Amino acid sequence: MDSFFKVKRPQEVYQIIDAFEALGKETVSTAHAVGRVLSGDLTSPEDLPGFARSTMDGYAVRSKDTYGASESLPALLEASGEVFMGQCPRDAVGPGRAVRISTGGMLPEGADAVVMIEYCHFLDESTLEVSRSVSPLENVIEPGDDFRKGAGVLAGGHALRPQDVGLLAGLGLSELPVYRKPVVALISTGDEIVPVDVLPGPGRVRDINRYTLDAFCRRAGAEPVYAGLCPDDFEPLKDMVEHAMETADTVWISGGSSVGTRDLTLKVFDTLPDFELLVHGISISPGKPTIIGRCGGRPIVGLPGHVASALVVADVFLSRLLDRLSGRRHTGPWRRHEVTATIGRNVESTNGREDYVRVRLVEGPDGLVAEPVFGKSGLISILVASHGLVRVDMNTEGLYEGQQVRVWIPGA
């Protein structure tokens, strides 16, 4: 019963994870910054735009010259010249004058608005009939309308999207301050595990976990490094973990499915200098036998051996850990990719435990149906056949066929 009391609720584990600090900072070329996380607030180094620009094709005018203009009583202006793209206008716009301008063109001195070409007609070579009035600054953006010099542009902790990268490049920032990508050392253990390029002898299986977790890290923007495959022996595993801790930001051990492997992992962790055990078991299924500790400020994780359990723990907890290490701020409840569906059949669940049920999504006549994908414990095909996870709350005893559920599609 001792271990029962040690098992932590998911919310407690989230708090423990959130206490880890973001990694160090580095500078990255703006061209390669998409997906990276800003390590500090950015302010605009200059006014954007840097000059008054037209937002339409038309004629640059003094707005008051058009006041009262209408189709029945157009204003007559004298048109001459043109603003060339990318050039400083040669002539100022005097009273009663108009100069041709294109979208993005620089507003000439004297002008304070642009009349759209649709409302302009030539009466003769130089007399322009304007059939609509414009207000001051109409169809014009002024210097600093996007950002004034010194104004806040994006905050630290923001993960850069294509438009953010474009804007920052537009402000002339060719390099950006970002957090380092977490380096995750992956160790596989278990006497029965062989490398994937080896034909497993009787009783042996290939190292599925390593490849699954490696791909998980890559997709999350982290940098997995393979620290090795270790038999269930104390000394070699201890050496491997110590060696991995020297360079990695976090170490994840997984692979063996036996209880022996799990016990060994904790025994090795316990011998590390400064090791502090934070989590020994989580009230979640699958994924209960998870170990999380801190060692020299860095998180160190022992994952359940079965890949289906390890992946639930990775999706639910380790993606949050990677966000934390890479400084990514959670921006809102919309970050998770979830869809609503009705559950295809009854699902039993144990009170006091958070269950994650793998489901396959099917389009039914009344919308999406989430069909639970069941099968014997230990099967891997279930992972491949399913599209997402349904969380069954701690305080519910299960789901009823036809009930509406939220299906989470991790990483999509």
The footprint of a second copy on residues 305-364 (CB under 8 A) is 305-307, 311, 314, 331-335, 337-339, 361, 363
Residues 6+ away with beta carbon under 8 Å from 86: none
Upstream peptide bond of 162 is cis (omega within 30 degrees of 0) = no
Contacts 24+ apart (CB under 8 A), 191-197: 191/231, 191/232, 191/256, 192/256, 192/257, 193/229, 193/255, 193/256, 194/229, 195/229
User: In angstroms, what is the minimal distance from the CB of 45 to a second copy?
Assistant: 11
- Per the CB < 8 A criterion, the answer to whether 93 and 111 are in contact is yes
User: In angstroms, what is the minimal distance from the CB of 235 to a second copy?
Assistant: 18
From 10-18, 138-146, 275-283, 346-354, give the range in contact with a second copy by CB under 8 A: 138-146
According to DSSP, the β-strands at 298-302 and 223-230 are: unpaired
- Cα–Cα distance for residue pair 142/48, rounded to 1 Å: 9
If binding is defined by CB under 8 A, does position 58 make contact with a second copy? Answer: no
Residues 6+ away with beta carbon under 8 Å from 249: 23, 180, 182, 183, 184, 298, 325
Which of 68, 203, 273, 365 is close enough to bind a second copy by CB under 8 A? Answer: 203
If binding is defined by CB under 8 A, does position 300 make contact with a second copy? Answer: no
Which of 163, 246, 366, 395 is close enough to bind a second copy by CB under 8 A? Answer: 163
If binding is defined by CB under 8 A, does position 45 make contact with a second copy? Answer: no
DSSP count for the chain of H helices, then E strands: 9, 28
If binding is defined by CB under 8 A, does position 365 make contact with a second copy? Answer: no
x/- mask, a second copy, residues 267-286, rule CB under 8 A, reads: --------------------
x/- mask, a second copy, residues 370-409, rule CB under 8 A, reads: ------xxxxxx-xx--xx------------------x-x
If binding is defined by CB under 8 A, does position 81 make contact with a second copy? Answer: no
Beta bridge partners of 121: 129
If binding is defined by CB under 8 A, does position 199 make contact with a second copy? Answer: yes
- Per the CB < 8 A criterion, the answer to whether 327 and 22 are in contact is yes
What backbone phi and psi angles, to 5 degrees, belong to 118?
Answer: -60, -25
From 64-72, 139-147, 277-285, 293-301, give the range in contact with a second copy by CB under 8 A: 139-147
Residues 6+ away with beta carbon under 8 Å from 324: 17, 18, 20, 21, 22
From 32-40, 241-249, 274-282, 390-398, give the range in contact with a second copy by CB under 8 A: 32-40
Smaller CB separation from a second copy, 271 or 381: 381
If binding is defined by CB under 8 A, does position 134 make contact with a second copy? Answer: no
Which of 74, 89, 182, 299 is close enough to bind a second copy by CB under 8 A? Answer: 89
Binding to a second copy in span 212-241, by CB under 8 A: 212-216, 218-219, 232
Q: What is the DSSP letter of 339?
A: E
Smaller CB separation from a second copy, 263 or 397: 263
- Per the CB < 8 A criterion, the answer to whether 256 and 190 are in contact is yes
If binding is defined by CB under 8 A, does position 26 make contact with a second copy? Answer: no
Q: Whose CA is closest to 224, among 250, 193, 195, 197?
A: 250
User: In angstroms, what is the minimal distance from the CB of 87 to a second copy?
Assistant: 5
From 9-17, 66-74, 154-162, 270-278, give the range in contact with a second copy by CB under 8 A: 154-162
- Cα–Cα distance for residue pair 160/172, rounded to 1 Å: 16
**How many chain residues touch a second copy (CB under 8 A)?**
109
If binding is defined by CB under 8 A, does position 193 make contact with a second copy? Answer: yes
- Cα–Cα distance for residue pair 247/72, rounded to 1 Å: 78
- Per the CB < 8 A criterion, the answer to whether 66 and 132 are in contact is yes
Which of 15, 27, 70, 103 is close enough to bind a second copy by CB under 8 A? Answer: 103
Smaller CB separation from a second copy, 13 or 229: 229
If binding is defined by CB under 8 A, does position 205 make contact with a second copy? Answer: yes
